Amino acid sequence: MHSLSFVDYLVIAVYLAGVAVIGLRAARRQDSTSEYFVANSRIPGFAVGFTLMTTTISSATFVAIPGSVFARNWWQLFYMSAALLVIPLVTSFAVPFYRRVVRMSVYEYLEYRFGYAARLYGSVGFAINRLTDVGYSLYTTAIAVEVIAGWNIHSVVIGVGIFTLLYTLIGGIEASIWTSILQGVLMIGGAVVIMISVF
């Protein structure tokens, strides 16, 4: 069983403090539903794009997929590379339509175009999908932390879940976007450092 050093704990504390500051700063601007859900459409394009990229990367990307590749083969490469075909189509057709027609949520458009049942179906389906994915991500994160630091899996799941829920609920979409950017920079930076140290 491994344990973390003082420097490790210091890095974790600084990171958590940074995320908390981002959430609290964003919370001060929350004065309307539009502010909470779409930040009054003032988030820069680069921030939205970088966030979309980083949110496709989860603990599964760092833990489960490398383990599967090591144990079996590169089969995930095929379905993951589909993004190279899909993303240009989405940015060319879906995003302009979304920005032109949708005000705050795609579920509004579903109700407007197809009725309340379509809105309910879409929103409930998305909620179930997100709950499942978040549960999987929390669990794989907890496994990695248990192996690296020796922390209890259940404590990690509860702690990370509560902390993430708090800064997201308090800060809204703006907090989610800027913390995703911070996390993305750390993930990419960490991957670069690992590659340099290995090679």
Residue 1 within a domain: no
Residue 188 within a domain: yes
In this structure, what token pair is assigned to residue 75? 């089969």
Residue 69 within a domain: yes
Residue 185 within a domain: yes
Element (H, E) at 67: helix 64-71
Residue 170 to residue 35: CA distance in whole angstroms: 12
Residue 90 to residue 110: CA distance in whole angstroms: 18
pLDDT tens, position by position, for the chain (199 residues)? 567 888 888 988 998 898 888 888 888 887 787 778 777 778 888 888 888 888 877 767 777 777 777 888 777 777 777 878 888 888 888 878 877 887 778 888 899 889 999 999 999 999 999 899 888 888 888 888 888 888 899 999 999 889 888 888 888 888 888 988 888 888 888 888 888 988 7
In this structure, what token pair is assigned to residue 89? 């189509």
Residue 133 to residue 125: CA distance in whole angstroms: 12
Residue 120 to residue 123: CA distance in whole angstroms: 5
Residue 120 within a domain: yes
pLDDT for 195:
85
What single-letter DSSP state applies at residue 28?
A: T
pTM of the model: 0.75
Residue 159 within a domain: yes
Domain hosting residue 156, numbered range? 6-198
Which of 152, 158, 150, 170 lies closest to 20 in space, CA to CA? Answer: 170
Which distant-in-sequence residues (6+ apart) come within 8 Å of 30 by Cβ?
Answer: 36, 170, 171, 172
Q: Report the number of distinct structural domains present in the chain.
A: 1
